[in-house]
Structure 1
Amino acid sequence: MSGVDGTDERYVVGVDYGTLSGRALVVRVSDGAELGTAVHAYRHGVIESALPEGGPALPPDWALQDPEDYRAVLRHAVPAALAAAGVAPSQVIGIGTDFTACTVLPTLADGTPLCEIPELRHRPHAWVKLWKHHAAQPHADRINALAHERREPWISRYGGKVSAEWQFAKGLQILEEDPETYRRADRFIEAADWIVWQLCGTETRNVCTAGYKGLRQDGRYPSGEYLSALDPGFADFVTKLDGPLLPLGDRAGNLSSQAAAWTGLPEGIAVAVGNVDAHVTAAAAQALNPGRLVAIMGTSTCHVLNGTHRADVPGMCGVVDGGISPGAWGYEAGQSGVGDIFGWLVTHAAPAGLDTHEQLTELAAAQPVGAHGLVALDWWNGNRSLLVNHDLSGLIVGMTLATRPQDVYRALLESTAFGTRMIIEAFVDAGVPVTDLVAAGGLTSNRLLMQIYADVTDRPLSVIGSAQGPALGSAIHAAVAAGAYPSIHEASAAMGRVREAVYRPDPDNVRAYDALYAEYRALHDHFGRGGNDVMLRLRAIRNAALDAAAAKADTILEVLG
């Protein structure tokens, strides 16, 4: 079979780094056919309670990872995917990667992670901070307050608030809680760029994470004067971010001999510029045209869409020129918890016999809209958009002795759809059209959830035609980096896939959900916009209690030791 240029078929590999594992996918360049895939679970998963190897306990809201787990994906998943595809390595012309964001790590000038330096391995701040590391919320609050006080022009590009997840909040936390580790860090880099560095031996930065997570707007980062005003020692932070900045779809470099040995791929093939799991999925879903919002739904949800112009949208995660694809303004918003919320109920609150998603979905689907008498807030992992406050928490209103697990399950499904509707309305109110939705990610298999989203948002909902959207998107970018297509748009048209308008709004359900959404919005504004800060006070009480318990345990250990 001949490829797009009349030669023998060629292939690319996409590697998607998720929260708990990494996936490699082998894709045919001519038509995007997915021929083989393999998953490798991170040995250490998410490090939340204590560092490995008997390291110290971690405070609340920490979430770390081990960068060696990322290399292991290259050593195990890529060769396994090639074997599953039956593709000869010599036929592969490029590799592309995507990562969760903002997942960041401090390194030496040569890219060595600080947590791999023996004398720093016991220091928590030397490790990778996963996207859902939310312990930097106080630092994010200071960043936001000072930016508004100084009228910094970039703050409006992030909806008026920078998240605790973003690079600057995490960097400031390192400086103020572990100055020695901060001093030792020559670089502070997104894992999306670090893994590319490991693949080709060349340090690069991608415009996507630099813009959305690194506060880089109009060709520059926040000024040294602003950073000094936050903390005099923070004035040099931008130097730790500085590196060659490349647009999406570019070639970052060539696969090194070391990475070729890890992966089994030919040395010298194209390595695409790093990217984010959500943003790269837009190409896989053929959703690069303005107005088509992609919701990448998994443990959390990221919402991305292209626009024709720049607008300031309150509560959005960012707007970046070329942030999704060159030639368009890319918008991002998100929800910090979605699938994790449903999983919490199944794991911790559903009784035996009803403790599967399938059983709860079947029972919940039999209910008319509103029959459970509940409304919930989807803040079980904080709120990313529109409130940008990770100290907020979940809420269910309407519980009675007649409430059953399937009632709560459906209310939680609906709460995440309400959160997405809040985001859509914020975009539309700011002059950024949202014409339709495309769903991607593992949650698309839940037909009830998909129909709820169509009904709540009153928009047709399409579904990506691939179960591996980020990995396919990374493969599409690899094809562009290797020169097989002249642009991401053309590669997306040939290699991406989507099932159009699979779910359409039901008019009766739309009206019923409008009433429930009004109640959701009232609760959202009351508990999220200062009407009652009980959630923040409860979080403070919890943290104080945990800190006191940890201090008591340390005292006991000292006495025993």
Structure 2
Amino acid sequence: MTQHVSANNTAGNVAVGLDFGTLSGRAVVVRVSDGAELGTAVHSYRHGVITDRLPGSSITLAAETALQDPEDYRQVLSRAVPAALRDAGVDPSQVIGVGAAFTASTCMPVTAEGVPLCEIAPYTPRPHAWPKLWRHHAAQPEADAVNAAAAELGEPWLSRYGGRISCEWQLAKALQVLREDPELYHRADRWIEAADWIVWQLCGTETRNVCTAGYKGQFQDGSWPSREFLGALHPEFADFAHDKLDHPLSQLGDRAGGLTAEAAARTGLPEGTPVAVGNVDAHVTAASARTTRPGRMLAIMGTSTCHVMNSDVLAEVPGMCGQVLGGIVPGAWGYEAGQSGVGDVFAWFVDTQAPPEAHERARADGVSVHDVLAEETADDPVGAHGLVALDWHSGNRSVLVDHDLSGVLAGLTLATRPAEIYRALVEATAFGTRTIIDAFEKAGVPVHDLTVAGGMVERPHVLRIYADVLGRPLRLVSSALACAVGAAAHAAVAAGAHPDIHAASAAMGGVREHTVDPDPERTAAYEELYALYTELHDHFGRGGTRSLHRLRELRNAARKGNP
């Protein structure tokens, strides 16, 4: 439970922030004047991530599929918001605004009224009717087609994404629907990010935010990808942007509308309460991390990691997820990069590879298996395990933008211990972050400091390795609910309580007093391991071999029964 602050100090001066994550959604009630978190609640999605079969169906889904149920999102409104208000002990009339942020690109086909096609009976059994989570990587062939056509036609927007578009983004996912279920594709009146769809549910009006449009839909310099380009991908795809995406874009912090009567009944909030335009979970967190000014990189480290940063510099940075004017705060170039697997990689190892004795010791000591494995190698010299790993268990988002890549572990011997492998995996993700920072700085986009948010903030062994590998102090966000607090900050701006996102960030954001500082000797020792990581990174990821791609092809073919 949240430590309560007297409701007398919050009258008319609180906002609700909503964070829709991969497995759950959370709501937080935040005091607008100083960011105090008054109450919070979490609702776990009933269906989580749908990867094997559709709910209530025996239909087997294709490899790399990751879907969700939109009703799970609505239940966050119905359950988490009222629970957070009760936890805060505030009257709903004291809420001046609501803001929401979502994983992205999580997108779905809907009717002109915003009804998801998966909720219309004839389409419910069809996989492409359901929302595709950011983790949906089954559209890699379509991403390859997008990249090849964009390069061949010299599309000017391609350089804003480091030269490659991810299969996680809108174009690849929508093209997959057209290729594999054309009838359903044509039935969809609109193709929309879940961040915008949930705002539609709240205020009854379709809106589109500049953040998801730019990073996930390739909207640049005032326009979507051209009809000619889209038609080159598929003749029936030519009007995709015009018919299914096009809509006036709202700036972050704008007011999308007010709560409808239906949304008010769901949430327990007054009808007409201002609703901020939607946003991406990583980008909205900049407000709570106080990283809205240029050169202040924020790494949101959880199941994956997203790196976002504002800059006054517009430059071509290889392998970026995008650079969008106003993508984090209006008026600045917002850069996004990321790693597809971080916490997921550590969890995979703990769940499938850690020995029974590690689990037994964790239970006996009342700690996590992660802690047990980390403690075993905490005092080992850098490089003592003789291992280097590549952190591509979920593909590579930046800087290679290739989700057909997979993990690599080099240096195994009969003396290798599980705890050493675990440490090598943590180091690999740190090397991946360093690769991203190096790409920024080599392109002339300076990174002044690094702030960390997300679940890894509570993993000291991970933070120590990152500080040593990067050779930089790490600032840590104060709130464990930084995304939801950032959404609340945007709600405060939309409601007029703060003049802009910078002001809301200064008032409502926060970082811990102490930083995690690097050890100079360990930082120096990591240089050679990083050089070996880079050698393997370039060999397996930049054309030295196609072995990882071929292994993925064999795996997928075998799963289809066509080895």
Q: Could you say which residue in structure 2 is the equivalent of 1:143?
A: 146
Structure 2 contact 214–324 (Cα < 8 Å) conserved = yes
Higher mean displacement: 175-184 or 502-511:
502-511
Which of 344, 348, 353 pairs up with 1:340?
Answer: 344
Work out the CA distance in 2 between the residues paired with 1:234 and 1:463. Answer: 44
CA positional deviation for 1:500: 5.0
Q: Could you say which residue in structure 1 is the equivalent of 2:218?
A: 215
Structure 1 contact 211–320 (Cα < 8 Å) conserved = yes
Q: Could you say which residue in structure 2 is the equivalent of 1:439?
A: 452
* Counterpart mapping for 1:91-490 below 5 A: 91-238=94-241, 239-355=243-359, 356-490=369-503
Equivalent residue letter for 2:424: A
CA positional deviation for 1:453: 1.1
- Is there any run of 5+ residues in structure 1 with no aligned partner, and where? 551-561
CA positional deviation for 1:499: 2.0
Structure 1 contact 203–244 (Cα < 8 Å) conserved = no
Higher mean displacement: 453-462 or 480-489:
453-462
Structure 1 contact 364–409 (Cα < 8 Å) conserved = no
Work out the CA distance in 1 between the residues paired with 2:276 and 2:186. Answer: 31
TM-score, normalised with respect to structure 2: 0.96
Structure 2 residue 510 is matched with structure 1 residue 497: yes
> 1:375-429 CA distances to partner (integer Å, 9 max, x unpaired)?
1000000000000000100011111111111101110000000000000000000
Detail structure 1 runs of 4+ shifted over 6 Å in the superposition.
none
- Is there any run of 5+ residues in structure 2 with no aligned partner, and where? 360-368
When the two chains are superposed, the root-mean-square deviation of aligned CA atoms in Å is 1.4
Work out the CA distance in 2 between the residues paired with 1:172 and 1:416. Answer: 31
CA positional deviation for 1:549: 7.1
Structure 2 contact 382–522 (Cα < 8 Å) conserved = yes
CA positional deviation for 1:353: 2.4
Work out the CA distance in 2 between the residues paired with 1:516 and 1:48. Answer: 36
Equivalent residue letter for 2:391: D
Q: Could you say which residue in structure 1 is the equivalent of 2:34?
A: 31
CA positional deviation for 1:8: 3.9
Structure 1 contact 438–462 (Cα < 8 Å) conserved = yes
Equivalent residue letter for 1:320: V
Secondary structure of the equivalent of 2:358?
A: coil
Work out the CA distance in 2 between the residues paired with 1:500 and 1:293. Answer: 18
Equivalent residue letter for 1:491: A
Work out the CA distance in 2 between the residues paired with 1:137 and 1:464. Answer: 34
Q: Could you say which residue in structure 2 is the equivalent of 1:559?
A: none
Which of 43, 46, 49 pairs up with 2:46?
Answer: 43
Structure 2 contact 10–31 (Cα < 8 Å) conserved = no
Structure 2 contact 464–516 (Cα < 8 Å) conserved = yes
Structure 2 contact 12–95 (Cα < 8 Å) conserved = no
Which of 65, 70, 74 pairs up with 2:73?
Answer: 70
Secondary structure of the equivalent of 2:337?
A: strand
Equivalent residue letter for 2:99: G
> 1:434-486 CA distances to partner (integer Å, 9 max, x unpaired)?
11110000111111111111111111110001100100000000000011001
> 1:286-310 CA distances to partner (integer Å, 9 max, x unpaired)?
0111111100000000000000021
TM-score, normalised with respect to structure 1: 0.96
Work out the CA distance in 1 between the residues paired with 2:160 and 2:477. Answer: 29
Equivalent residue letter for 2:328: I
> 1:109-159 CA distances to partner (integer Å, 9 max, x unpaired)?
000000000000010000000001001001101111111111110000000
Work out the CA distance in 2 between the residues paired with 1:339 and 1:534. Answer: 25
Structure 2 contact 464–517 (Cα < 8 Å) conserved = yes
Equivalent residue letter for 1:287: T
Work out the CA distance in 2 between the residues paired with 1:428 and 1:265. Answer: 46
Secondary structure of the equivalent of 1:503?
A: coil
Structure 1 contact 461–500 (Cα < 8 Å) conserved = no
Structure 1 contact 377–395 (Cα < 8 Å) conserved = yes
Structure 1 contact 435–459 (Cα < 8 Å) conserved = no
Secondary structure of the equivalent of 2:561?
A: helix
State the identity %. Answer: 65
> 1:248-290 CA distances to partner (integer Å, 9 max, x unpaired)?
0000000111000000011101100000000001110001111
Work out the CA distance in 2 between the residues paired with 1:315 and 1:515. Answer: 24
Over 3 Å counting, the alpha-carbon distance change for 1:7 and 1:497 in structure 2 is: closer
CA positional deviation for 1:9: 4.8
Work out the CA distance in 2 between the residues paired with 1:361 and 1:91. Answer: 45
Equivalent residue letter for 1:226: F
Work out the CA distance in 2 between the residues paired with 1:90 and 1:153. Answer: 49
CA positional deviation for 1:515: 0.7
Structure 2 contact 32–508 (Cα < 8 Å) conserved = yes
Secondary structure of the equivalent of 2:38?
A: strand
Higher mean displacement: 373-382 or 347-356:
347-356
Work out the CA distance in 2 between the residues paired with 1:161 and 1:363. Answer: 40
Secondary structure of the equivalent of 1:548?
A: coil
Work out the CA distance in 2 between the residues paired with 1:247 and 1:186. Answer: 24
Equivalent residue letter for 1:451: R
Secondary structure of the equivalent of 1:498?
A: coil
Structure 2 contact 27–81 (Cα < 8 Å) conserved = yes
Work out the CA distance in 1 between the residues paired with 2:513 and 2:307. Answer: 18
Equivalent residue letter for 1:107: V
Equivalent residue letter for 2:168: E
Work out the CA distance in 1 between the residues paired with 2:35 and 2:312. Answer: 27
Over 3 Å counting, the alpha-carbon distance change for 1:464 and 1:60 in structure 2 is: same
Work out the CA distance in 2 between the residues paired with 1:501 and 1:123. Answer: 51
Equivalent residue letter for 1:280: V
Work out the CA distance in 2 between the residues paired with 1:380 and 1:108. Answer: 36
Over 3 Å counting, the alpha-carbon distance change for 1:75 and 1:172 in structure 2 is: same
Work out the CA distance in 2 between the residues paired with 1:274 and 1:542. Answer: 38
Equivalent residue letter for 2:293: N
